[in-house]
Amino acid sequence: MKLSDRLLSLSPSATFAMSAKSAELKAQGIDVINMSVGEPDFDTPEFIKDAAKESIDRNITRYSPVPGYADLKQSICNKLSSENGLDFKPSQIVVSNGAKQSITNAVMALVNPGDEVIIPAPFWVSYPQMVKLAGGVPVHVTAGIENDFKITPEQLESAITPRTRLLILCSPCNPTGSVYSHEELEALAEVLLRHEDVLVISDEIYEHLNYIGSHASLASVPGMKERTVLVNGVSKAYAMTGWRIGFIAAPEWIAKGCSLLQGQYTSGPCSISQKAAQAAWDGDQTCVETMRQAFERRRDLIVRLAREIPGLEVNVPQGAFYLFPKCSGCFGKTVCPSTDGADSWASRVIENSTDFAMFLLEDAHVATVGGDAFGGPECFRMSFALSDKLIEEAMHRIRNSVAKLR
């Protein structure tokens, strides 16, 4: 008895796997600081929760249309127009169970077996897995820390082949926090516009967690809206990860395809969550700016503390809530036996970033994620969506643990 071939080649989500390990240790009474999974630590704002409660009382508890309620899709169009200067019709919007499903839908709707999908590395762990599920071939284009983890137009051009179907671009980026400026997007678009069969999924889920001013969407570059699937949602901006609402805004033929798929896979997303998300997009946006400011302060704090740790190389994230330091300076090292480090690490060598994250979990009791799963094998990821106090404590522990390595 065995699972389908499709599943046998699928890796588990490294972010959720590390978070589960951290929860296991916590259940054993160990005081673990969890910097592994990326989600805001804030509560969902009250006015959004009130809208959900009201929708239950009004018995909005039945199946919604497959691509989402018409008035929610109109609210999304209003958001895209006022915040992004983009003109979409409700028929171009499909609302799904989180941006994760939105991206999966788009990949499934567009990728045929053997099609190549360009994924700038480091990347969010799920992209290559989604592509593989569709039978596609992930093509990684790597940008290092010295390039602020951003790919150049020349790199993009040389990765495109006659089999290229899609580029999946994430800005602000998980895991690096890098943000492409409008000019950088224009330069990438210039390449893309020379290859008329190449489409783009533009993952903008961290749009509002931006520390350099304004967000630039690839769809706003002339000529790109017709071939871009813009993805966004409420998880990060409104602290609504558990509500599971994301959307695509795309050319109508793609939206129709995603709706067709969703109609057989999941139906429309939770009716109550849709009403909550609509309240989020229609309501007072002060809460978004308040949370953004808190994340910016924490970004400054974690960058300062991480830079004090010998052995780590740190870039400054311009968006999202992740730090992705280079830790390869610690590879080949082991815990000096004369210190009181986690026992097993006195006889084990840190070979790679997954080992490094495991060492931090066992020795510092700080859960992070090795960069291997993100296509950044020299780095590791820390989420700084934690209180300032926990960030300070975590960095103190990491500093002590790294100091034991020889």
What are the residues binding ligand PMP (CB under 6 A)? 38, 98-100, 124, 170, 174, 203, 205, 233, 235, 241, 246
233 binds, among ligand PMP, ligand GLU, none (CB under 5 to 8 A by kind): ligand PMP
Which three-class secondary structure state does DSSP give residue 383?
A: strand
* Residues 165-204 close enough to bind ligand GLU by CB under 6 A: 174
111 binds, among ligand GLU, ligand PMP, none (CB under 5 to 8 A by kind): none
**Among candidate residues 35, 3, 34, 37, the one with its CA nearest the CA of residue 17:** 37
Residue 325 interacts with ligand GLU (CB under 6 A): yes or no:
no
**Considering only residues 16, 42, 47, 265, which one is a binding residue for ligand GLU as defined by CB under 6 A?**
16
Q: Which residues is 366 bridged to in the sheet? A: 33
Toward ligand PMP, which CB reaches closer, 16 or 331? 16
Strand spans (E) along 103-257: 116-121, 137-142, 164-170, 199-203, 228-233, 246-249
Structure tokens given for 117:
């999908």
Provide the 8-state DSSP code for 43.
P
Separation CA 307–CA 317 (nearest Å): 13
Toward ligand PMP, which CB reaches closer, 42 or 331? 42
Q: What is the largest CA-CA distance in the chain?
A: 66
Least Å distance between CB 182 and ligand PMP?
20
> What phi and psi values does residue 158 have, to the nearest 5 degrees?
-75, -15
* Residues 33-52 close enough to bind ligand GLU by CB under 6 A: 37-39
What residue spans of 134-230 are helical by DSSP H?
A: 153-159, 182-192
203 binds, among ligand PMP, ligand GLU, none (CB under 5 to 8 A by kind): ligand PMP
Strand spans (E) along 85-177: 93-96, 116-121, 137-142, 164-170
Toward ligand PMP, which CB reaches closer, 122 or 246? 246
Separation CA 196–CA 57 (nearest Å): 50
Separation CA 22–CA 33 (nearest Å): 8
Least Å distance between CB 234 and ligand PMP?
7
Toward ligand GLU, which CB reaches closer, 69 or 123? 123
* Residues 107-136 close enough to bind ligand GLU by CB under 6 A: 124-126
Q: What is the DSSP annotation of 260-279?
A: HHHHHHT-SPPHHHHHHHHH
Amino acid occupying residue 58:
R
Taking CB under 6 A as the rule, which mask of x and - marks residues 291-320 in contact with ligand GLU? ------------------------------
Of 9-17, 88-96, 268-276, 277-285, the window that binds ligand GLU (rule: CB under 6 A) is 9-17
16 binds, among ligand PMP, ligand GLU, none (CB under 5 to 8 A by kind): ligand GLU
Question: Which residues are at the interface with ligand GLU (CB under 6 A)?
Answer: 13, 15-16, 37-39, 100, 124-126, 174
